[in-house]
Amino acid sequence: MYKRRVTHPRPGRGRLRWALAGHAVRLLPDAVLRSAARRGPQGSTAKVPPFADFVRFLEAAGPAAGIVMGELDPTAPVSRSPELDAVTVRPLKLGPQQVRARLYSAADLSDRAALVWISGGAFVAGSLDMPESDWVARTLAARGTPVLALDYRKALNGLRHPAPSDDVLTGWHWAVEHSAESLGVPPERLHLGGASAGGNLAAAATRRLLDTDGPLPASLLLAYPVVHGRLPEWDPLALAAVREVTHGACLPLDWIADMCVNYAGPDHLLDPHAFPGEATPPENHPPTLILACENDTLRTSAERFAGQLEAAGITTVLHQLDGAAHRSLDRPTEPDGQQALNHLATWLARE
């Protein structure tokens, strides 16, 4: 098991620098921010600051942070693939918390399956506009599977688990209650899935439903998820190889550990309602598709969870995306992004 390295607090000047950078970004025009995003790394795991500094930047920048990180460009997938323009997108706000969501549908929809989908962002970033949400949902809808894409409250400014998970459950229960008229399928044909932190939230919501006899998804679709509060141990040589291939741009292990603590707090790292891989899956767990990126430090969590499900007798399929780094579904024009989405579409067509 990976043991978190104890680090000393960064100097106050460093903390202030990231907060000031966030405030500066907030003041810049959107056009300037979009230009900066286009010049920067697109859809890959760029080197990131220490997690605490990343959070300070996001808290200070507010919505502008999403623009500068290239998340907020919803027209990009359509311009790259004009056929996706035929997809109808309906914005929604669900439940007392007014959870933001989008319903994606097309004229020629299959009655086989529908998907509730959650994108990632380390529990602190991400939006309905990022390709991992918008492009995935549009493409699946264009291929015949309606999608309800969910946003959720982020673990910023003191907000923690279970608030993001509560938002996912709000969206899931709405989908179950409105499946026929809004998604065109009966509740038993609803599937639930997500990527990265969104994969955690999908799996954790399922665990909460299992423990409360709630309506279960027909299956789970998890793309490079983080489902353990303490990342399963890496072989040192394998980890060194990943770092070399990604030129050090993979998420550091300490960064992931800090992310998990920031999301759930130190007292919930072993709570299966926050990190479902920290308990034995029950025998009635839904069938599960898991995608793992070869050059991703979160890969051990995906692989361990697949093994846990198989050991419990759950129908499980694990696909490794060879040569891929984290966030494949945020790269619509890259082969690994297309491969990841095709795995999702194939799974849904068979279920």
Cite the beta strand spans of 20-129 per DSSP E.
Answer: 88-94, 99-105, 114-118
265 lies in a domain?
Answer: yes
DSSP string, 190-253: EEEEEETHHHHHHHHHHHHHHHHTPPPPS-EEEES----SSPPPPPHHHHHHHHHHTTT-SPPH
Residues 219 and 295 in one domain: yes
Q: What is the crossing angle of helices 51-61 and 253-264, to 10°?
A: 50
pTM of structure: 0.88
User: What letters, b where the CB count within 10 A reaches 16 and e where it falls short, cover 339-351?
Assistant: bbbebbbebbeeb
Distance CA 276, CA 205 (A): 9
Residues 241 and 293 in one domain: yes
| Phi, psi of 249, rounded to the nearest 5 degrees | -85, 0
pLDDT in tens, the chain (351 residues): 434 443 434 444 556 665 565 556 564 555 555 555 555 544 444 567 899 999 988 888 877 666 556 555 555 555 567 778 889 999 999 999 999 999 999 876 656 899 999 999 999 999 999 999 999 999 999 999 999 999 999 999 999 999 999 999 999 999 999 999 999 999 999 999 999 999 999 999 999 999 999 999 999 999 999 999 999 999 999 999 999 999 888 999 999 999 999 999 999 999 999 999 999 999 999 999 999 999 999 999 999 999 999 999 999 999 999 999 999 999 999 999 999 999 999 999 986
Residues 203 and 94 in one domain: yes
Distance CA 197, CA 211 (A): 21
The two three-digit tokens of residue 304, written as one number: 């361990």
Tell me the longest C-alpha to C-alpha distance in the chain: 57
Neighbours of 51 (CB within 10 A): 21
Count of domains for the chain: 2
2 lies in a domain?
Answer: no
Residues 95 and 130 in one domain: yes
Structural domain of residue 244, as residue ranges? 76-350
CATH code of the domain containing 334? 3.40.50.1820
Residues 146 and 269 in one domain: yes
Residues 93 and 47 in one domain: no
Domain boundary among 24, 43, 68: 68
3 lies in a domain?
Answer: no
Residues 25 and 143 in one domain: no
Q: What is the pLDDT of residues 209-238, one digit of tens each?
A: 999 999 999 999 999 999 999 999 999 999
Instruction: Name the helix (H) or strand (E) containing 20.
Output: helix 12-27
Residues 85 and 156 in one domain: yes
pLDDT score at 9: 41
pLDDT score at 216: 98
Residues 44 and 140 in one domain: no
Residues 255 and 306 in one domain: yes
User: What letters, b where the CB count within 10 A reaches 16 and e where it falls short, cover 261-284?
Assistant: bbbbeeebbebbbbbbbbeebeee
Residues 35 and 63 in one domain: yes
Instruction: Name the helix (H) or strand (E) containing 259.
Output: helix 253-264
148 lies in a domain?
Answer: yes
Cβ atoms 286, 344 nearer than 8 A: no
Q: What is the pLDDT of residues 292-335, one digit of tens each?
A: 999 999 999 999 999 999 999 999 999 999 999 999 999 999 99
Instruction: Name the helix (H) or strand (E) containing 319.
Output: strand 316-325
Residues 34 and 83 in one domain: no
Q: Which of 297, 258, 260, 243 is nearest to 7 (CA)?
A: 258
